[in-house]
Amino acid sequence: MTSELDIFVGNTTLIDEEVYRLWLDGYSVSDAVALRVRAGILEQTGATAAVLQSDTMDHYRTFHMLERLLHAPPKLLHQLVFQIPPSRQALLIERYYAFDEAFVREVLGKKLSKGTKKDLDDISAKTGITLKSCRRQFDNFKRVFKVVEEMRGSLADNIQQHFLFSDRLARDYAAIVFFANNRFETAKKKLQYLSFGDFAFCAELMIQNWTLGAVDSQVDDMDMDLDKEFLQDLKELKVLVADKDLLDLHKSLVCTALRGKLGVFSEMEANFKNLSRGLVNVAAKLTHNKDVRDLFVDLVEKFVEPCRSDHWPLGDVRLFLNQYSVTVHSLDGFRHQALWDRYMDTLRGCLLRLYHD
């Protein structure tokens, strides 16, 4: 009598998400085992300590072998050594390139160089993130920067195409690359209240409106570099505060539009000229690299802090900025409407994001 058996052999690579997290967080095998024991894995599975040690080591070996592929994610998709389902491949990539808010705030706007890398010991001690994890995150930022810095086209799209990130992660990395390239100051004490999300929001607005790519999609490094000609032209806006008649008329138009609608109307009326000079002078100074780097410091000093000291609610800030922007179109003596809109459309969005009432 002959018996028939159906045999199925599979070689799908198993990925334990919890162990992967521990590996990404920079824990050694022994520390990872201890953390898994503390989480109750032995009781849950009935495994012995020796089996848990072996299982953890096996996962770590797999992750180390996968790491070189994760440095160039398309290679992970096309290799044949590890049989990993597409959904798992996406998870591996997304989590490998994920970053800690506390870490990115420490390096945002800094040059991604050996000099910054030397500071990782201090950053690790300050944030409580393991040094190994800090190095991985820093190297990821630098790797993405190097790959896309010479490319034409949308920064976020290039990142997404070459690293297979989700849309959100690609946009976050676009902000990191943009800030590193333009060296915006983010570390000053008065900026510490701002999150990475605040800066990323502003980066996206500037990429859309202030870069070379905003006006010419065929320019090299289109989303990396600010449009120098645009920055030079911003000096023309100084007439709005240098010409007393224009300044007085602008104030009159804004006050007429907002009378009875603004809770802080008297404060706005008294401080209008100082606020307007601050916003226009920020624009006029962007021809110098140092002033570009200090953009967020200047916006907080010249607008956010004065409004905050007068207790402006966010709704009033929004009403004021809207009227401040649109009433310029009613100034007969002003001839730079398109330039003004390109500047203020972005600045208004950034200021509303920076203003935490």
DSSP codes joined into one string, 138-160: HHHHHHHHHHHTT--S-HHHHHH
Q: Which residues are within 8 A (CB) of 73 and not within 5 positions of it... i.e. 6 or more apart?
A: 93, 162, 163, 164
Burial profile 5-42: b = 16 or more Cβ within 10 angstroms, e = fewer = eeeeeeeeeebbeebbebbbbbbebeebbebbeeeebe
pLDDT at 216: 61
**Angstrom distance (rounded) from CA 121 to CA 187:** 17
The strand pairing partners of 83, in sequence order, are 12
pLDDT at 118: 87
pLDDT at 11: 66
Joined tokens for residue 218: 């065929």
Q: In residues, how long is the chain?
A: 357
Q: How many CB atoms sit inside 10 A of residue 263's CB?
A: 13
pLDDT at 347: 97
pLDDT at 9: 45
**Angstrom distance (rounded) from CA 244 to CA 278:** 15
Helix (H, G, I), strand (E, B) or coil at 246: helix
Comparing CA positions, the residue from 153, 64, 57, 143 lying closest to residue 99 is 143
Half-sphere exposure of 130 (CA within 13 A, CB side): 12
**Angstrom distance (rounded) from CA 281 to CA 275:** 10
- Which residue ranges in the chain fall short of pLDDT 70? 1-11, 215-222, 357
Residue pointed to by tokens 């190297």: 139
pLDDT at 80: 87
